Structure 1
Amino acid sequence: MSGGLINANPTVYSKQERRTRKTKAEDEYTRDLIDSEEIFDHIRDIKDPEHPYSLEELKVVRENDIEVSSKQDYVRVNFTPTVEHCSMATIIGLSLRVKLMRSLPSRFKVDILVAPGTHATEASVNKQLNDKERVAAALENPNLLEMVDECLAPSY
């Protein structure tokens, strides 16, 4: 990577072992219960916009930073940028939001937040990521959408 990166040499961690999920009863009247493990499985492989590593490998996302209430159809993901002045925090947050929008039933309300105390402009980033109109406008920008899609593309 070039020397122009904010964090040119991030710490890379090993991925945690994937657990086998229990299958759920196939009953059209029963709601699937969604838990933090399932949310983590959806977002762990999202690629960092500046590095060839997943958000899990950089510890930007961790399972214990996910809160789920299936009864209230609510998910909150706190993510931790690798540096306090990460210029890609909004792209990371948009990638998390889009992945969950594409993966979860539409009844879920999703909040994506920078973990408290981990980013210089935490309040501003959080406001951008959780304002429906701002998110919609951002996703209409072809350049931003291309960056998000690159983060979400499977790696081989």
Structure 2
Amino acid sequence: MVSGLINANPVVYEKKERRERPTSIPDADEYSAEAIDQLEVDIKDPEHPYSLEELKVISEDAIEVDDRRSYVRVTFTPTVEHCSMATVIGLCLRVKLMRSLPSRYKVDIRVAPGTHATEAAVNKQLNDKERIAAALENPNLVEMVDECLAPSYA
């Protein structure tokens, strides 16, 4: 854990049982639904030893998939409105989807409305291709993202 945490004592919730995710069309890409479901369980918070699901940063209801239009929108809720890790969390979500989904998908990552002090700036940064590319050229940032995406066996 990082010292000087913004949210030193976050509320931790139990993980939910997985339900079958409906697909928007009968022959929809099952691979995409599986990748989306893994967003909740597989990504660790950058500051805490908990998953984004356990901190209620991401939930099943906040993930929209339109297979017909090859579109995914993920809306996440930082644990505090001044979370300095919001862009890192969003980058982790984007990288997880980039690595998991077929390239035909357009991904939109957003902070839930009214949940972050600099919501517009974070949303702009998370959906700007050039900023994402620049972030992924930073070895320290890539290492942090890889740590958040590393499988946990707990």
TM-score, normalising length: structure 1: 0.87
- Deviations for 1:43-67, whole angstroms, at most 9, x for unmatched residues? 1120000000000000000111111
Instruction: Find the aligned partners of 2:120 and 2:103 in 1 and give their Cα distance.
Output: 26
Instruction: Find the aligned partners of 1:153 and 1:134 in 2 and give their Cα distance.
Output: 23
Percent identity (aligned): 76
For 1:124, what is the secondary structure of its paired residue?
A: helix
Instruction: Give the match for residue 42 of structure 1.
Output: 38
Instruction: Give the match for residue 11 of structure 1.
Output: 11
Query: Which structure 1 residue ranges, 4+ long, deviate > 6 Å from structure 2?
Result: none
Among 78, 99, 102, which residue is 1:102 paired with?
A: 99
Which consecutive residues of structure 2, in runs of 5 or more, have no partner in the other structure? none
Instruction: Give the match for residue 133 of structure 2.
Output: 136
Which consecutive residues of structure 1, in runs of 5 or more, have no partner in the other structure? 23-29
Is the Cα–Cα contact under 8 Å of residues 2 and 47 in structure 2 kept in the other structure?
A: no
Q: CA RMSD in A?
A: 2.0
Count of aligned positions: 148
Cα distance, 1:19 vs structure 2: 3.8
TM-score, normalising length: structure 2: 0.89
Instruction: Give the match for residue 147 of structure 1.
Output: 144
- Deviations for 1:70-129, whole angstroms, at most 9, x for unmatched residues? 111000000000000000000000000000000000000000000000000111111110
Cα distance, 1:68 vs structure 2: 1.1
Cα distance, 1:34 vs structure 2: 6.6
